[in-house]
Amino acid sequence: MHVKQSVAALVRRMLLGLGALALVVAFMAPAAGTASAWSKAFVRVIHASPAAGPVDVYVDGSKLLDDFTFGSVTGYVPVAAGSHRIQVAPDGKGAGASVIDVTVSLNSGTYYTAAALGTTTSGFSLKAFVDNNWVQEDKAKVRVYHLSPNAGPVNVSVGGTTVIKHLTYPRASRYLSVAPGTYTFDVTAVNYGVTLPLTAQLKQENVYSVFAIGLVGSKDYPIQFVVAAFHSENESDD
C-alpha cells in the first residue's frame, strides 16, 4: 500500500502546538542579565502517543503546554541546564493525574527532542533524543525518528538505494547529509510490507526531522509523518 503525503500538509500540523509554545518561551526564557545563552539547553517536544489524547505538560510543577494534541511538535526553546521534572497528564486533569512523570538532566549547549510515547497496553514514557543541528553551509541534513509503537523495523530508501536499514522503535537514525534538492524517501515497515513515500524539498543549511508516528492498521491514528525544519547558520563536518 502506498500513501503519499506532502511536506506542506504535514508541517501545518506543527502549527497546532505553536499557540502553546508562546507560553513555553515566556516561562523558560531567562530574566535579563541572569544567564548567558551558553548556559542553556534547547528542547522541543513532540506528542507521539496516539492513545494519550490531548495532554498538558508540566515542567517543575508549572504547566507549559495546554491541550497539546497528537502529532504536534514545538520549536526549540531555551531551558536552564540541569535537572528538571517533566509530567504529562490528560488535558485538564492536573499534574496529579500524570501518566508520565520523569526527571531529566539537560546539558548546556545541547539540543534535545522530548517525545511522549506509548499506548494503554505498553504504558506511557518520555524518550529524550540528543540532536545535532550543525550542518555544512552547502548541505542539508535529514534524520528519521521511529515513533510508531507497532510498525516494527523500518527501512528508508531513496531512488531504490537503502540509506537507513532496520530502524526500530523508539530510535532515531543517524543523520543523512545531502545536497539541497527534492527527494522522495520511501519508508517501508518491513514486517507489513507497507511503504509510505515522502517527498521533500531540502534547503541548504537546514536540518530536517522526520517523525514517523501513528499505528499500523488504525483508522483513528494511521501511520503518518510530521516534518520539522531547523535552520542552522553553523558549519560542521557531520
Q: pLDDT tens digit string along 2-60?
A: 333 433 333 334 434 433 443 343 344 443 444 456 689 999 999 999 989 999 999 99
Q: How far apart are CA 151 and CA 225, in angstroms?
A: 13
The whole-number pLDDT of residue 121 equals 87
The whole-number pLDDT of residue 120 equals 85
The whole-number pLDDT of residue 51 equals 86
- Tens digit of each residue's pLDDT, the chain (238 residues): 433 343 333 333 443 443 344 334 334 444 344 445 668 999 999 999 998 999 999 999 999 999 999 999 999 999 999 999 999 999 999 999 999 999 999 999 999 999 999 998 889 999 999 999 999 999 999 999 999 999 999 999 999 999 999 999 999 999 999 999 999 999 999 999 999 999 999 999 999 999 999 999 999 999 999 999 999 876 444 4
Q: How far apart are CA 22 and CA 17, in angstroms?
A: 9
**What are the domain boundaries of the chain?**
5-231
Q: How far apart are CA 157 and CA 230, in angstroms?
A: 22
The whole-number pLDDT of residue 32 equals 40
Question: Which residues face 127 on adjacent strands?
Answer: 115
Q: Which of 158, 167, 137 is nearest to 233 (CA)?
A: 137
